Amino acid sequence: MTHHPVLRVIAKFMIPLILLFALYVQFHGDFGPGGGFQAGVIFGAGIILYGLIFGLDTAARVIPSWLLQLGVALGVLLYGGVGIASLALGGKYLEYGVLAHDPVHGQHLGIFLVELGVFVTVASVMVTIFVSFAGRER
Amino acid sequence: METLIDLALLGLLAVTALAMLKLRNLFAVVMLSGMYSLLSAGFFVDLDAVDVAFTEAAVGAGITTVLMLGTLTLTTSLEKVSTQKSIAPFILVLATGLILVYGTLDMPGFGHPEAPIHHHVAPRYLKDTPTETGIPNVVTAVLASYRGYDTLGETTVIFTAGVGVLTLLGLARRKEDRRP
């Protein structure tokens, strides 16, 4: 899309805002609407927009494919790992209360970590699906 | 006023769906389906389901549209004219729709305080979330903590979808790799 200066300029202006908004949705999910899934989708959409406007090869330089594949698995691993950690600390699977000295703090930590896991997996999968589709030759 | 907005949104949804049925240009159909999602998102906001609206706007109007456009570049953008016209699918769809509408007649009214959903675990979640988790947003607490298993399952579904696409299509190889 090298012939669309308006698109390129607007995209350059919008993409940082989209990524920042995704992080806001992620870390403000305790108070406002949204959470890991929504934030992951918005973050993925930001990267996809970048790939659409500036080409897949440029996007692959920002987020290489090994990082994408790592992210797909890492998020679920983090989520399940929180469950294992709470088992190891004497609680039930995904019982966040035992993760810290104070149960309420443990809940905070647990929810933060699993939402991060959801975010990483969702964002990586969205970009992966896009790259797989868009990267195919006709 | 709210009823008026609901009616307008639902009317626009119906118009969009009909337009998608009539059009043969798949590019326009994809754009209209994105519009359909955005309208549904607006409708969800009106129903006070902001989290769902968020997801619908981001996934339905955003990513799905891009994926469908990506698919269009691999195929053609014009729908083939079907030669055989059959009344059976129409009757099937109509019957299914009527059964679904009939099913809604037994449902409690929207937001009705006596509805079963407000008497099961919801009151406990609403009452205990602030003291048990210290999180003001009950939706987040339910999703991530009380219903943590379900969310783990959903994340695994997304993971499986990603792995499935990777297995079937594979990540795009860079141009250098393709031409050794």
What ipTM score was computed for the predicted complex, to two decimals?
Answer: 0.89
- Residue B167 Cα, gap to closest chain A Cα (Å): 10
Confidence of residue A67 (pLDDT cuts 50, 70, 90): very high
CB-CB neighbours of A73 under 10 Å:
15
Hey, of A14, A28, A30, A137, which one would you mutate to test binding to chain B, going by the most B CBs within 10 A of its CB? A30
The CA distance from B29 to B33, in Å, is 6
Disruptive mutation site among B75, B171, B177 for chain A (greatest number of A CBs within 10 Å)? B171
Task: Determine what percent of chain A is predicted with pLDDT higher than 70.
Answer: 97
Average of pLDDT values for A66-70?
91
Q: Which residues of A touch B71 (CB under 8 A)?
A: 133
Rounded Cα–Cα distance for residues B102 and B59 (Å)? 30
- Measured between beta carbons, the chain A residues lying within 8 angstroms of B64 are none
Of the candidates A79, A41, A46, the residue with the CA atom closest to the CA atom of residue A63: A46
Are B155 and A32 inside 8 Å of each other by CB?
A: no
Q: A30, B136: Cβ pair inside 8 Å? A: yes
Please indicate whether, in this complex, the C-beta atoms of A76 and B73 are within 8 angstroms of each other: no
User: HSE of A7 in the Cβ direction (CA atoms, 13 Å)?
Assistant: 11
- Residue A70 pLDDT more than 70? yes
Sorting pLDDT into bands at 50, 70 and 90, what band is A116? Answer: very high
Number of other residues whose CB lies within 10 A of the CB of residue A33: 19
CA A49 to each of CA A18, A34, A123, B163: distance values in angstroms, whole numbers, following the listed order: 10, 21, 13, 22
Element holding B38 (H helix, E strand): helix B26-46
Q: B154: nearest CA in chain A?
A: A118
The predicted pLDDT at position B74 comes to 81
